[in-house]
Structure 1
């Protein structure tokens, strides 16, 4: 381990430093820290989304609030090189503002995001889905505690025990606390849903623009995993053959924001479902609610989700 590595690990424990970017010039920003989750192929996608959002937000008048983003992950980001974010001011309208952010490493574009900001119109009519009935966060267990309990299961093989131990350490040090609210339930239409409580740990009282950047960070946690869960695929050290997850990686991600008055430092309920999987891909959708039931954001994500099975041999 290099001398720099512990510093970056400590930085990742704080959401404020995980999202921080350095302004190099007008519309040009650079990451200060990057984090790779355990057993992942590259930098955590939610961190790239949130750093790009911070960069874009710095170029927009405070009268406009972020209402949506759409992004593509073109290749995995390396933690060894800072990410350079370039903001393009595509449109400056009276009601809506549009920005495009391109993220690059070593001259190659690795990520592209288009985001739109709106002057709020609170006098317009409203509608939302009702939050499902789940146990409150106080009645649910932190994920790191759940993994620690699993490690003590005498029936686990050493490989699985080590895997669970790694996850327990990672979850305890994450800037985002997660609790399982409802592991799985099946709706009348046959769709499976999963629900988690999310909370940014130990954050001060941030204004709405930065709260939306934090939500962008946490929105990437667990979402594409819903596809694997729905398919019955299990991760590293938990299964083999057709039941094993061979690869999972985000292709694109969208968020629609419908509130300027939520606090990621309080618990948010993230309800997830996977609507389709096939051809090594899958689509997941999510809704984020405050504890009082206000639907503050809606997410969609498509990713590569492959079982650990080989393609049949090509016909000659």
Structure 2
């Protein structure tokens, strides 16, 4: 497909999660993307799609007696971002096969350059071992009490006297959300934790998906885990895209993304609550921590993502030169 940097490019195949994650097998351990999505205002292909396609590739190379339990991506953000105009090739290497765990690496290659590396570990499940989990936050409205993001953006675009540029921004984001394979509902604008930290919460689910087996449910969860995640951190510290001065957001770019899975029996066609917090921001970097719960309160995955987060501020030492 041809690359299109416009916010509403002709990327209709991305509207179904089944095609967004689909890869073509080229060799026993080599796969190629079939579609790639460039989000509005993004520097490159959506990271969640690259992670999920890499996981689909790895899963296809692993004995199904092993279940994915953790994946860590190392995105080479300092290289050129992935373009939607050229397919990505995923090369899978089985690094170790043990009695309980199996480890794989996946290299994502585009135009001859490695743009992304994924390490993932698979485990033979041990359901007889003890369990413990943090509870889902209390007082969270259920999905049927919340509005879809596209409806919120569309309502914002119709506010009387709205600036035409802001109106266009809301309309294009509403259309992007409508076309996305993932439905998102805002569970709370933000919530203060008992410790006084800001927490964002969203209900997410895949739209109109077939009945996937558990290994590929995890690939779908990996896809949606990248939505809104690192972008929640600059919001927590008051950086804004449209601001001027020291609170203007200069750059956000993912460095790494880790997902720990603790459940092998969930369905991404059902709503999952995604909670997001930002424990630390410093030195032009920030980290997000997330948790994904089913509507019944089961914690199925824990995520972390570090990113470059820069305000539009100059090094004071440079201003003296």
In the alignment, what sits opposite 1:51? Answer: 53
TM alignment of 1:206-221, pairs within 5 A: 206-221=212-227
SS in 2 for 1:286: strand
In the alignment, what sits opposite 2:211? Answer: 205
Matched, 1:296 2:296: no
In the alignment, what sits opposite 1:91? Answer: 96
SS in 1 for 2:64: coil
Equivalences, count: 314
SS in 2 for 1:205: coil
For 1:52 and 1:45, the matched residues in 2 are separated by 11
For 1:273 and 1:170, the matched residues in 2 are separated by 25
Can you list the C-alpha shifts for 1:101-150, whole angstroms capped at 9, x where unaligned?
A: 01011111100010000000000000000001200000000000000000
**Residues 2 and 84 of structure 2 are in contact (CA less than 8 Å); yes or no, is this contact kept in structure 1?**
no
For 1:305 and 1:142, the matched residues in 2 are separated by 27
In the alignment, what sits opposite 1:21? Answer: 23
Can you list the C-alpha shifts for 1:251-299, whole angstroms capped at 9, x where unaligned?
A: 1000000001100000000011000001111000000000000000000
For 1:160 and 1:247, the matched residues in 2 are separated by 20
Can you list the C-alpha shifts for 1:150-181, whole angstroms capped at 9, x where unaligned?
A: 00112421111111111001000000000010
For 1:80 and 1:21, the matched residues in 2 are separated by 16
Larger CA deviation: 160-169 vs 181-190: 181-190
Larger CA deviation: 302-311 vs 156-165: 302-311
Q: CA deviation at 1:311?
A: 3.0
In the alignment, what sits opposite 2:69? Answer: 67
Q: Tell me: CA distance 1:83–1:3, structure 2 relative to 1, closer, same or farther (3 Å).
A: closer
> Please, what TM-score do these two structures have when normalized by structure 2?
0.94
TM alignment of 1:1-316, pairs within 5 A: 9-75=11-77, 76-133=81-138, 134-235=140-241, 238-314=242-318, 315-316=320-321
Q: CA deviation at 1:239?
A: 2.5
Over the aligned positions, Cα root-mean-square deviation in angstroms equals: 1.8
**Residues 36 and 84 of structure 2 are in contact (CA less than 8 Å); yes or no, is this contact kept in structure 1?**
yes
SS in 2 for 1:125: coil
For 1:90 and 1:8, the matched residues in 2 are separated by 39
Q: Tell me: CA distance 1:80–1:183, structure 2 relative to 1, closer, same or farther (3 Å).
A: same
For 1:42 and 1:239, the matched residues in 2 are separated by 23
**Residues 19 and 35 of structure 2 are in contact (CA less than 8 Å); yes or no, is this contact kept in structure 1?**
yes
Can you list the C-alpha shifts for 1:58-116, whole angstroms capped at 9, x where unaligned?
A: 01001000000011110321111111110011001111000000101111110001000
Q: Unmatched 5+ residue regions in structure 2?
A: none
Larger CA deviation: 69-78 vs 288-297: 69-78
Q: Tell me: CA distance 1:8–1:260, structure 2 relative to 1, closer, same or farther (3 Å).
A: farther
Q: Unmatched 5+ residue regions in structure 1?
A: none
